[in-house]
A = this chain, B = another copy of it.
Amino acid sequence: MHSSIRPLLLPLLLTATIAIATHGATAPSEETDGNWIRPARDYASTRFSSLAQITPQSVKQLGVKATFSTGYTRGHEAAPLVVNGTMFIVTPFPDILYALDLTKPGLPIKWKYDPKVVSSAQGVACCDVVNRGASYADGVVVYNTLDNRTVAVDANSGQLRWSATLGDISRGETMTMAPLIVKDKVLVGNSGGEMGVRGWLTALDLKSGAIKWRAYSTGPDKDVLIGPRFKPYYAAEKGQDLGIHTWPGDGWKQGGGSVWGWVSYDPSSNLVYYGTSNPGPWNAEQRPGDNKWTSGTFARDADTGEAVWFYQAAPHDLWDYDGVNENVLVDLNINGQMRKTMLKADRNGYLYVIDRTNGSLISADPFVYVTSTMGIDMKTGRPNENKEKTPSVGNTVRNVCPAAPGGKDWQPTAYSPHTGYLYIPGNNLCMDYEGMEANYIAGTPYVGANVKMYPGPGGNRGEFMAWDPVARKKVWSIKESFPVWSGVVATASDVAFYGTMDGWFKAVNAKTGEQLWRFKVGSGIVGQPVTYLGPDGKQYVAVLAGVGGWSGAILAGSLDARDGTAALGMVNAMADLKQVTTKGGMLYVFGLP
């Protein structure tokens, strides 16, 4: 992936920061600089592209080269994939997969696959009926459906190769995350942290869809695939069957820890890295204990699923601080020593630099305004509690920052080995939070909290920033009116692209943050931009517009702005979204003249 880096930049790479070359023997042959075969582009989840035709100078000439209406208007969170002249797009429910022919004018539809998703699955989706996209390998496009199937579709014909049913909507489960394909396995997880599900990550055989292993996030060690190889770094993760003993009674059975975010992979160690969601219910008084293994990060053997380490960013989570955000695997020069690290801009507001070989913290610094905790104890790895902000039933704590969607939610960062910066699409939201008694009824919301969110200090609800993980500081930032709920792509020409919920697709100088170009798309952006080479050899940038997701639920779900607690308190912070954008579902492809 460094092949096209201009020589003059190489010294910078060698002395300051280096993204690991993760594409060894295991990378599919379609994993080229010009393709984009999985949402994060590479196994390391950098979302960095070596393409450099679109420069900080030429980007000002970007224009709309093609558009496509998906036909659906809920939140479009997926990344388009590009594989050798074909683009693959997954819509939100009903999870239609389109193959568009990039080799012909007007992006004609090659084929369309409709998984016929059960309509009632919409009723158990916590936060809009999104789909975060597909992954490609070995001639198949694999993705998840809201009604808990993983489907593998022949990339050429659009015919179903196999379908595996993995969860149950009657237990509140859905599937919204994008699979990661590692060698002969497809890694997928469930959603439903607000529905009393029991979370899991499952490995399926790429050829047949057969389950190879499943690792639960709660329960006995045997279910969590904790065995002799499990060597957590911190004391709190050591002990037998903590997935039971850190819960009251049978609480772990509906304890959340769902796996609806991102999975990264390091071929050199054969480990996968992914996070677990909040514990359930939100009302923490109902679940005394650390609630293992929720709100944290697992490292597992990709072949067997065996747990290798776990780090819990939010033990006994109080505020819906899921641990599902992407883990960006990069090797950094820390104090003169090259370290195999993992960068994680966590929901709890801290930017973690973690030694990915053992789960020990190298640094953890707030990247947004944080009141909910008082720094991270580097000895224990645990956040220092802020007693004033501990909610309880009948007691409303105010000004909890970040709010439940965290300093950053699922919307993925990008890391540029050129600049050494992590580009973070962030939120600046705080909340008032009151615990409530939650009753578990299978397949219904299991939350127990009364929440109202509002803008954090400064009034801007979002911020797009560059973070230097070595210097441990924010380099530049752009304030945005709404939470920045889109992904990011960074390129070798030092341009970074992201979108806003009010519909601007923006290009900025990756070194300075200077805005270089913008275009107003038809609907707010909560999707993931990608860049690729067209069959004409030219670089393009593509993104889905279609506002929605948790932050856009007021619009996508047609919620009433007068009920501020709707969408788990998000509506209170987003009442004006309806005035500035509209529902939609549109692909945009931009290119140079």
Contact = CB atoms under 8 A, between A and B. Distances in A.
Interface core residue of A72, A98, A520, A545 (most chain B CB under 10 Å): A520
A230 interface: no
B522 A67 contact: yes
A61 to B, nearest CB: 9
16 contacts: A63-B64, A64-B64, A67-B67, A67-B586, A69-B73, A69-B523, A69-B545, A98-B582, A106-B504, A107-B520, A108-B580, A109-B580, A109-B581, A109-B582, A584-B586, A586-B586
A105 interface: yes
A171 to B, nearest CB: 30
A356 interface: no
Interface in A564-582: 578-582
Contacts of A69: 73, 522-523, 545-546, 582-586
A504 B107 CA distance: 11
A391 interface: no
Interface in A68-87: 68-73
Contact of A68 (B98, B109, B582, B588): B582
Nearest to A578: B112
A507 to B, nearest CB: 15
Contact of A584 (B64, B71, B108): B71
Contacts of A72: 73, 583
Contacts of A545: 69
A66 interface: yes
Interface in A515-532: 520-523
Contacts of A68: 522, 582
A448 interface: no
A587 interface: yes
A31 to B, nearest CB: 29
5 nearest A-B pairs in the assembled complex, by CB-CB distance: A69-B584, A106-B520, A69-B522, A71-B583, A64-B64
B71 A586 contact: no
A399 to B, nearest CB: 32
A503 B586 contact: no
A265 to B, nearest CB: 34
Interface core residue of A72, A73, A112, A504 (most chain B CB under 10 Å): A73
Nearest to A91: B582
